[in-house]
Amino acid sequence: MKYIFSMKMAVLVLFIFGVAIGAATFIENDYGTQTAQALIYKAQWFEVFLAYFTAILVYNIIKYKSYKSKPAVFLFHFSFLIIALGALITRYIGYEGIMHIREGQSTNIMVSDVKLLQVTATQGEQTAGLEKALYFSSMTKNSLSESLNVGDKKVNVELLRYLPTAHEKVVKDPNGKKFLELKISTGQQGKIYYFAKGDVKDFGDFYVAFNARTKDDKPTFSIGDETGSLKVDFPQALKYLNMDDKSSGELHAGENDFRGRYLHQFGNMPSCLKRYMKKPVL
The reported pLDDT for the residue numbered 281 is 66
Q: What mean pLDDT is predicted for residues 27-55?
A: 88
Q: What mean pLDDT is predicted for residues 89-94?
A: 84
Q: Percentage of the chain surpassing pLDDT 70?
A: 97
Read off φ and ψ for residue 87, nearest 5 degrees.
-65, -35
Summarize pLDDT for 134-178 with one digit per residue, the tens: 888 888 788 899 999 998 899 999 999 988 878 777 777 777 778
The reported pLDDT for the residue numbered 205 is 79
Summarize pLDDT for 231-261 with one digit per residue, the tens: 999 998 999 999 989 999 999 999 999 989 8
Q: What mean pLDDT is predicted for residues 35-62?
A: 89
Residue 187 reports pLDDT greater than 70: no
Q: What mean pLDDT is predicted for residues 76-101?
A: 85
Residue 228 reports pLDDT greater than 90: no
| DSSP assignment of 134-148 | ----SSS----EEEE
The Cα–Cα gap between 200 and 280 comes to 19
The reported pLDDT for the residue numbered 217 is 81
| pTM for the structure as a whole | 0.56
Q: What mean pLDDT is predicted for residues 103-120?
A: 84
The Cα–Cα gap between 113 and 93 comes to 15
Task: Give Cα separations from 114 to 63, 92, 167, 253 (angstroms).
Answer: 41, 14, 19, 36
The reported pLDDT for the residue numbered 280 is 62
Q: Which domains does the chain have, with CATH numbers?
A: 7-94 (no CATH), 111-158 (no CATH), 172-281 (2.60.200)
Angle subtended at Cα 269 by Cα 263 and Cα 273, rounded to the nearest 5 degrees: 35
Angle subtended at Cα 274 by Cα 170 and Cα 269, rounded to the nearest 5 degrees: 115
The reported pLDDT for the residue numbered 16 is 92
Q: What mean pLDDT is predicted for residues 15-28?
A: 92
The reported pLDDT for the residue numbered 282 is 58
Q: What mean pLDDT is predicted for residues 37-56?
A: 89
